[in-house]
Amino acid sequence: MAEANKENFLIIDSNSIIHRAFHALPPLTNKKGEIVNAVYGFLLMLFRSIKDFNPKYIAACFDLPEPTLRKISFPEYKAKRQKAPDELYEQIPKVKEILKLFNISVFEKAGYEGDDIIGTLAEFITQKHINEINNIIISGDLDNLQLVNKNTKVYFLNKGIKGGILYDAKAIKKRYDGLDPEQIITLKSLKGDASDNIPGVKGIGEKTAFQLIKEYKTLEKIFGEAEKENSKIKKPIQEKLLENKEMAFLSFELARIKKDAPLKINFNDFAWQGFDKEKARSNLEEMGFKSLINKLPGEEPIEHEKKEKIKKIKTENVKSVGENLRLW
């Protein structure tokens, strides 16, 4: 799936993948009794993505528990979200340990969401290596679609962790009735976003928001027209806009993914040199993920089965979990 003359840079929205895997799979446990379904699902996604996109560069981006700049500026941001179970958060360190095993760099920054880290890395590549590298963001969160451009695509997991859609600008126009990727931010600033508790403009729904954006393109131009004495915008809508102008622009900033997080970026940190396969196999067996061994990037199932017979490793009873997922 790489473009001609370009290498792929895989940017992983780790927290969204972990959440997606946790809710998509039953509460699988390892031999220690620890719930590891999110770790298993994350690895399944990682291996499949590496095989599908054959990346030369990989980075995994994470949220941190500290309050973000958005939360500080607007305490109600994401206030209605239910806290995820502790069993989910307990698996995040395990995922980071595994990423280290596979020589994949982790990026995170206090005060910034994982999306901001993704946006910053994608922007860095776009500005510095636009002619050589193609960004592929792997995510279960549609918020990242605003980052799509000629150098960046988003592979959105729309079926749990089993499959997804690769979004470029054309696919976004089709999904969002002709909008460009950056106009998704304006859409949220007008209609709001209940999932993140972004208020938007009270009384303006999706249909009206689409009409305004198609007519005036940007939030600034929408309000520029609304503030005219003889505005072409219908009076009731004009009044709602003017009454909620401050909230609309605040919502824009809440919805907009930052591309300038203060990261120390060393391009060499992205380069993926592969991993120690024997060590990886050993760790997967230790974690109870035998069925993932044959899914390791570069691993030939038949060859590994022969190795298993030679080593005379006793076959354990396993539990099937959808799409041939297995665990002890």
SS3 15: helix
CATH 3.40.50.1010 residue ranges of the chain are 7-175+258-269
- pLDDT bracket for residue 15 (50, 70, 90): very high
What is d(CA 142, CA 145) in angstroms, rounded to the nearest whole number?
6
CATH 1.10.150.20 residue ranges of the chain are 183-255
Angle CA 91–97–99, to nearest 5: 105
pLDDT reading at 2 higher than 70: no
**Mean pLDDT value across residues 248-258:** 98
Q: What percent of the chain has pLDDT over 70?
A: 89
Residue 1 contacts residue 47 (beta carbons within 8 Å):
no
pLDDT reading at 313 higher than 70: no
pLDDT reading at 62 higher than 90: yes
Among the ranges given (188-197, 280-289, 319-328), the one the predictor scored with the smallest mean pLDDT: 319-328
Residue 37 contacts residue 87 (beta carbons within 8 Å):
no
pLDDT score of 6: 85
Residue 9 contacts residue 138 (beta carbons within 8 Å):
no
| Furthest-apart CA atoms within the chain: distance in Å | 84
Taking the alpha carbons at both ends of the chain, their separation in whole angstroms is 34
Average pLDDT taken over every residue of the chain: 88
pLDDT score of 56: 94
pLDDT reading at 161 higher than 90: no
* Tens of pLDDT, residues 101-155: 999 999 999 999 999 999 999 999 988 877 789 999 999 999 999 999 999 999 9
Residue 25 contacts residue 274 (beta carbons within 8 Å):
no
* Tens of pLDDT, residues 260-295: 999 998 888 889 989 999 999 999 998 889 999 999
- pTM for the whole thing? 0.88
Q: What percent of the chain has pLDDT over 90?
A: 76
pLDDT score of 93: 96
**Mean pLDDT value across residues 180-184:** 97
Residue 1 contacts residue 135 (beta carbons within 8 Å):
no
* Tens of pLDDT, residues 210-229: 999 999 999 999 999 999 99
pLDDT score of 312: 37
User: Residue 135 contacts by C-beta under 8 Å, 6 or more apart in sequence?
Assistant: 9, 11, 121, 122, 125, 126, 151, 152, 153
Q: What class is the 7-175+258-269 domain?
A: alpha beta
pLDDT reading at 301 higher than 90: no
Higher pLDDT, 32 or 111: 111
**CATH tag for 183-255 (out of 3.30.2130.10, 1.10.10.60, 3.40.50.300, 1.10.150.20):** 1.10.150.20
